[in-house]
Amino acid sequence: MLIIGLTGGIGSGKTLASDYLAEKGIDVVDADRVAREIVEPGEPALAAIAAHFGVEVLQADGSLNRAALRARVFADPAERSVLEAITHPAIRARILLHLQAATSPYVLLVSPLLFETGQADFCQRTVVIDADESAQKARASSRDGVSETQIASIIAAQMPRSERLRRSDDIVVNHGAPDDLYLQLDDLHQKYLELAAELNHG
């Protein structure tokens, strides 16, 4: 199975890109979605989070209070490390299950922390959706209603843009209109289909 890792900073257009490829019949494994799955009520990771951070990071119904947890971990790098030690192994294991279940010619692993978490190790090839920081901030604040301070913390916690670009095999520039993004993705989609065919016949 050809696994393509897709990444980019906050507000770069990862979801726009992966949705477009999903419409072409490509299976998408979204690390953010998996990260939500593994902290659902009844999951071992949620119990471990509550044990460390206390019940104040839980809602009244026992589900995770994301805002409370986010505020804690972005204010304290040591606490973020604890959270990552709980969640990252569970996320990796669940991602592998989803990747193994994929049936499309190639599968897309979408992850904002593809390189930082070692998830790139699952992939034969990686693509970065790249946007400049002003575009990232504008998209993230309009889409998620996240404060500028939080966006700056998230950008700071992610790999520097220059390093992400250096590590990636393919780069899609998303500074303009969606149609510009889609044209670049069309070219990559063809390339990945050819790579997948070579892999299957190899």
| CB-count burial class (<10 Å; 0-12, 13-18, 19+) for 68 | middle
Burial letters 129-149, b for 16+ CB under 10 A, else e:
bbbeeebbbebbeeeeebeee
Spell out the residues 6+ positions from residue 188 whose beta carbon is closer than 8 angstroms to its own.
Answer: 127, 170, 172
11 annotated to a ligand binding site: yes
13 annotated to a ligand binding site: yes
What sign has the CA pseudo-torsion 133, 155, 143, 26?
A: positive
5 annotated to a ligand binding site: no
Q: From 7, 182, 168, 199, select the one nearest 105 (Cα to Cα).
A: 199
Q: Report d(CA 122, CA 77) in Å as an integer.
A: 27
202 vs 1, 50, 103, 134, 140, CA distance in Å?
12, 48, 18, 44, 42
Annotated binding site for ATP: 11-16
Annotated binding site: 11-16
